[in-house]
Every structure is written in structure tokens, then in C-alpha cells.
Structure 1
Amino acid sequence: MTNGRDLRIDFFRGLALIFIFWDHVPDNPLAQLTVRNFGFSDAAEIFVFLAGYASILAYGRIYQRDGWLVSSIRILRRTWVLYVVHIFLLTLLMGIVFVANNYVDTRDMIQQMGLQHFVGNPQQALADELLLRFKPNLTDPLPLYILLLLALPLYLPLMLRRIELAVAASVVLYMMVPLYGWNLRSYEGGGVWYFNPVAWQLVFVLGGALALYNQRPQSPEQRPLSQQPLFILAAIYLIIAGVLTFNEKWPAVHAALVSALHLEGLYPISKTDLAPPRLLHFVALVYVVAKLLPRHSDWLNNWPAQQTCLMGRYSLEIFCLGVLLAPLADAANALAGDTWSMRIITALLGLGLMMLMANGLELNKRLGNGKPVAQTSKKLHIEV
């Protein structure tokens, strides 16, 4: 493995965190700009895919240098950190929601955040929380990440030796979902995991496979994009998915379009089970973006892109902050009468706080390392 860093990973991870925050603030106008409005997949796929990409790079290097046992211990240690963060995050989130609900009259924030199980049976809810079975709204990605990372030592050697076999095994496991309905149970009466780990593991594995593929020597493509059949097919699929998804804002128009194109078989497009049209859309999106935005270019040199990269570098901390900011923004909007201007203000203020936290973490790290604070270095190590 080479040590070169692809800053696109940080950028799109940071962008996914922004989108996740905006999407989780009810009736947020800026949520109309996120990726979920223009295709079948959304920021969740980006988050999981890049988590797999970063994990394979980081622990693959440790495996090659120190062996399976050391890499497994490092993975388990990181998994424990994520688990503790998850428990602490849930505690803070429930505290925020319960307090805010006392001041908001226009909606039931406890029900909105999926905390009825805790109100009705707090002892069982605490046990389910420790077992990753109780996952209030907004917190689902972290338990999924914990489970996927916990399984990484089992297939990391295969990933590093035979990528094709690892991906094939992941696809076979993914097929168990539509064939046999595999999923993990949630708390009693709570159904199954919202992000079915049996299905979503494929996104994580594909991220790791791309990370390993990019480490190989690549011969530059000589043909322009307009002459590459795979790129053209992927772009056409993205356009069709974008038109269909955008038209969902007008149900009558959407229904007529789906009927005219005989696409009824596409729906419903399950997010829980990562329906094939959704998975295909994300794979096409990754392929097209990778082709359109080359690794070595100046498009990441501007200030907004650098700030987004910085948030992506500290993805765990920024994700947790976004989860806590979403109900606070919703409560502030409710207290202000749910005006359009207030919704814009809280969305931008939340983004500003996320940027401020990322810069604070970077400053603290540089001071701790004794490095100059000025300029954000491009030679950053992978953090998962």
C-alpha cells in the first residue's frame, strides 16, 4: 500500500455529515439541496462506503506491517471506543430531547425521536441500548458502523489477498436479504434494524475494495468520457433516477411518469434492505464522481472544500455533534414559530458549529504535536 492520501475521501465524508445533519432537521429548507433529492441513494451510503474505505486503508496497513493479531486488537479497541461514544451520545440525546419537549408545544419530540420505548420501559430500554438494539432516530449509523467494524478482522485477510473473492462473498450475503429476509432483531416490539447490516455490509466492503484497488498502479484512460460506454450507462441511470426522485415532490406527476416508463417494479425502494435500484444508483454515483473529479486537481484548494475536508477528517466527532444539534435546531424552530427564516438560520448555525468544532479539534491536535497552526496540511493520516 502506498501512503498517498486521496483528499476526496475527507471531502465527501464531510459533505455526507452536512447532509445527514440537514436531512434530520424536520422541514429544513436546505435539506432540499442534499443528495437524497436527486437519486435513490443518500448520505447514509456515502458515510458507510467511506467508513469502509478508510477502515481498510488504516487497518490493512497495520495488518501488513504487524500481522493479523495486532490489527485485530487495534480494530477491537476502536470498536470499543465507538461503543462507548454511542452510549454516551444516546444519554446526551435523550437528555436534550426530554428537556426540549417540555418547552415545545407544537410537536411531540419524544415520539418524533423514537424514544417511546424508553418512556414506557426504561429498564428494558437501557438493556437494549447496551445491546445495540435500542436506536433512537438519528443514531442508527453508529451501531451499524460498530457491527461492521467488529466483523472486519474476519475478512480483512481475504480482502488483502483476494479482493474479488471478498466482494463475491459479500454479494452472496447481501442476496440473503431479498431471498430469505435476513436482518437483526431490534428491541421487543421494535421490529428489525433500520439499517439492515446483512445488506449494508456490502457498501462497507465495496468501499474497502475501492481503497485497495486505488493502491494499485493505474494506467490512465486515453478515451474521453463521452466514448466510455460504462460511464455513459452510469450517467444515464443517474439522470433517470434523479428525474424520478425529484418528481416525487409532485405525486401525480411522479405516478404518471413511473407508469409511462413501466417502472412500477422499482418501487418500493427499501432503504432498510438496501434495495438493488438504490445500491446500483450509489455504485453508479461513485463511478461517475470518481471519473469527473480526478484525485490530483485544484478543485479542493478553495476554503469551503478545505473546511468540508476538515469535518470529514474528524467524522466521528462531527457526526455526534450533528446528531445532538438536529433536535436542538428543531426545538429552536418550533419556539420561533417554524418560520422559513429561522429554519435557514438554525441550519447554517449548525453547520457553523460543526466547522468550528472541526477547526478546534485540528488546532488542538497541532498544538499537541508541536506543529505550526497555519495552513491545513494535505498530508493527513487516515482516521476511522
Structure 2
Amino acid sequence: MRDLRIDFFRGLALCAIFLNHIPGPATALTWRHYGFSDAADAFVFLAGFSAALAWGAGFRGERDTARAKGSALRRALHLYRAHLLLVGAMLVLVTAGAWIYANPAIKEMMALGYLGNHPADGWLRVALLVYLPNLGDILPMYIVFISMLALLGPVMARNPLPTFVLSALVWAWGGMTGIAPPAHPGGWSWFFNPLCWQFLFVIGFLLGNRVSSGKPLPHHPLLMTGAVIMVLYALLATTPWQSFGIGREFRVFDPDALIPHGKATLEIGRLLHFLSLAYIVSSLIRPDAGFLGGLAGRQFSIMGRHSLPVFAGGVLLSVLWTILIEQTPTTNRMEWMMGLSGLLILRAIAMVWEHAGPADRPAARPMPAPAPAMPVAAT
């Protein structure tokens, strides 16, 4: 049985990432306002999970290990080339915007001013992944993680518990020290600290590796109870009603006493919220749920199957929409229309790739059995 949820939720995450990247009210449609985590967490987790479905058997030695490692390396190189092209396209867009609106600050808004003014040094930094423009930081993180699998995948797949423990220690160390690769000549670092975010990718990989080997996954009422409590706590803590102008002074919890849930270092509250949310959703939705194959479900699944072109298109569209919204007068209705029309454009991009050829990512192999839904705790 094929797990139809992977493509569906990847497509849903891509839509949410786009809406969260543009200014305007359409971001209220995403779940980042109703808890500690958002679409980025789902995207990284599913990247690890689907990588294990694609290459786990090879990494475990059940298939050709060298072939699996080579496939992961080729995928990383493909993503790397896409990243360079994406940065180039972003530079063209902001340069055109700066010229049209006679506003050089547009380049700085997207952190591309240095690249435009110092192309030789700037492109060298881009090539070394030590210069990341705004909105251009998720793909480099993915490149690093897939490259890690090309080197360490067999060790990780055959030693899940030591891998989990070591990954957790690196996550904790990265969060405590704040050490991260440089992201700009101005001195700031990667927004998504890879030392911390690798933990979520590894959790996804280990769970996917367990599924691909045919082993059952943890499923217990106490896990569900804890997950529900965590999700409700985050919902109340983020006071979503204030976004709709309701109870602006009302808070259930003291904001200074909340569990740490920062995004840059994937703090504990954010990690637990995503894992809890994923556990609940995956427990309630079976891998072959009927709506996933329905008309609406297929629209998100198609985008999930072609995640790279849809993601790249979403980034470029986010840059364009942001420039238009920031530089021209817009109304609330216009911004809603821009957000929703952007989703239609992403769907159109996915349809073009759907008819042009196979999916741009490794295909997830069939589920070995109708096991419990994807959990979120490694064992």
C-alpha cells in the first residue's frame, strides 16, 4: 500500500510556505498562527521520511548500497544546481524591481544588494552556501541534509538508536551555542541553523527507515494524550483570536513563561508541537484515506510530487508579489486575490511537470503493510 499522505502534505506545506512568504492576510490560512510550528517543519520532516523510503533498503544493505548513495549524491547535486539558478532568478527579479520603482532598497530587502554590487565575491559565497538571500535558505538546508545521507546513510540506517542520540546531542549543542554557518557578508548566520534542524530531518529519516523495513511504529493512547495536550497548549499560547481582532488583551498564559519555541534553532516547544501535531494527524488519517485520491487531494499531491519546481516557483512568485505589495498601493481584497492566485499558479507549475515527465524527487516505495500511521517519536 502506497502512503498517499506524503505527497499530499508536502504539497500542502509548499502552499503554506508560499502564503507565509508574502505580506498580506492570506497567511491566516496557514497553521503557523495556531501553534508553535509551521510548514517548514513539515517540509523538513517529510524530506527525511521520503528519503528513507527511497534509499533506506539500499542503505541497510538489502539492495545495492553504492547505488543508493550515488542516487542521494545526484539528488544533492541536482538541488545544488537548482539553488544557484534560483538565486540568479531572484537577482534578476529584484534588479528589475529596483529599476522599475527607482528604489535600490528593494535589493537590500531581499539581501541581494551585496551580490549585485560585488558579483565575483558574491557568487563565490553563493556557491559555497555562505551567502543566502531572504527566502533562499530552505533549499541549502535540504542540500546539506541529502549530502549527509550520501555520506552517512548506511551508518544511520543500520544504527538507528545511536544515530538518534547523536543527532539529539548535536541539536542541543547547536541550540545552546548558537553556532551556525555564515549567511551574508554582513555577518549574520543561516536562519535555519542546520545543526539544530538536522534533528527533525533525522527523526523523519529514522521513522521512514523503520517503515521501509516493515517494522511496526509506536502507537499508544498515552502518546495521543500527550500530543493533544501539547497541541492545545500551543494553540492557547499563540492567542490566534487576536489575529481576528478578538480579545486583544486576553491571554491564557504569560508570554514570558512559555516553553521556548524559537524557529531558528528549532527550540524544544516547536519540535514537540510539530511532532505532536504530526502524530495526531497521521493517526487520524490512514495512508490510503479516500480523500487523498479525490479531486481536492490530488491537487495538493501533484504539487507534492513535483516539490522542487513548485518550491522554486513559489519563491520567485513570493519575491514578485512582495515587491508589488510593498511598492504599490494595495487593498486587503487585492492581497487576498494575490495570495490565492499564487496558489493557482503553483498548481499550474505542478501540472506542467506532471505532464512533462516523472516526478522530480525519488519515488517513495510502497508501504510494506497497512501499519499504523506515521508517528513522531523514534524508538
Q: TM-score range by the shorter chain?
A: 0.7 to 0.9
**C-alpha deviation, 1:343, in angstroms:** 1.2
Pairwise mapping of residues 295-374 of structure 1 onto structure 2 (< 5 A)? Answer: 295-334=287-326, 337-365=329-357
SS at match of 1:102: helix
1:241 aligned to 2:234? yes
1:258 aligned to 2:253? yes
Q: For the residues of structure 2 that align with 1:191 and 1:236, how far apart are their CA atoms?
A: 36
Q: Which moved more, 1:177-186 or 1:212-221?
A: 212-221
Q: For the residues of structure 2 that align with 1:220 and 1:170, how far apart are their CA atoms?
A: 20
- Measured at CA, do residues 335 and 197 of structure 1 come closer, stay the same or move farther in structure 2, by a change above 3 Å? closer
Q: Contact 1:144–1:195 at 8 Å: present in 2 too? A: yes
**C-alpha deviation, 1:34, in angstroms:** 0.6
SS at match of 1:258: coil
- Measured at CA, do residues 195 and 219 of structure 1 come closer, stay the same or move farther in structure 2, by a change above 3 Å? closer
Pairwise mapping of residues 208-227 of structure 1 onto structure 2 (< 5 A)? Answer: 208-215=205-212, 216-218=214-216
- Measured at CA, do residues 158 and 266 of structure 1 come closer, stay the same or move farther in structure 2, by a change above 3 Å? farther
Q: Contact 2:236–2:253 at 8 Å: present in 1 too? A: no
1:290 alignment partner AA? S
1:138 alignment partner AA? L
1:178 aligned to 2:175? yes
**C-alpha deviation, 1:20, in angstroms:** 0.6
1:37 aligns to what?
A: 33
Structure 1 unaligned segments of length 5 or more: list them: 369-379
Q: Contact 2:180–2:190 at 8 Å: present in 1 too? A: yes
- Measured at CA, do residues 168 and 322 of structure 1 come closer, stay the same or move farther in structure 2, by a change above 3 Å? same
**C-alpha deviation, 1:154, in angstroms:** 3.5
SS at match of 2:180: coil
Q: Contact 1:51–1:207 at 8 Å: present in 2 too? A: yes
SS at match of 1:299: helix
Residue-by-residue CA offset, 1:156-200 (whole Å, 9 max, x unaligned): 223322322221121111111233333223333332111111000
2:54 aligns to what?
A: 58
Q: Contact 2:193–2:264 at 8 Å: present in 1 too? A: yes
Report the TM-score, using the length of structure 1 for normalisation.
0.85
- Measured at CA, do residues 317 and 248 of structure 1 come closer, stay the same or move farther in structure 2, by a change above 3 Å? same
2:298 alignment partner AA? Q
Q: Contact 2:137–2:191 at 8 Å: present in 1 too? A: yes
Q: Which moved more, 1:235-244 or 1:107-116?
A: 107-116
SS at match of 2:269: helix
Residue-by-residue CA offset, 1:62-106 (whole Å, 9 max, x unaligned): 444543332222221111111111001100011011112333479
1:134 aligns to what?
A: 131
Query: What percentage of aligned pairs have identical amino acids?
Result: 32
1:161 aligned to 2:143? no
Q: Which moved more, 1:328-337 or 1:50-59?
A: 328-337
Q: For the residues of structure 1 that align with 2:326 and 2:273, how far apart are their CA atoms?
A: 35
Q: For the residues of structure 1 that align with 2:112 and 2:250, how far apart are their CA atoms?
A: 34
RMSD over aligned CA atoms reads 2.7
2:363 alignment partner AA? H
Please identify runs of 4+ aligned residues in structure 1 that moved more than 6 A.
none
Q: Which moved more, 1:185-194 or 1:75-84?
A: 185-194
Q: For the residues of structure 2 that align with 1:316 and 1:23, how far apart are their CA atoms?
A: 18
Q: Which moved more, 1:61-70 or 1:45-54?
A: 61-70
1:200 aligns to what?
A: 197
Q: Contact 2:56–2:157 at 8 Å: present in 1 too? A: yes
SS at match of 1:207: helix
SS at match of 2:364: coil
1:382 aligned to 2:377? no
Q: Contact 1:244–1:254 at 8 Å: present in 2 too? A: no
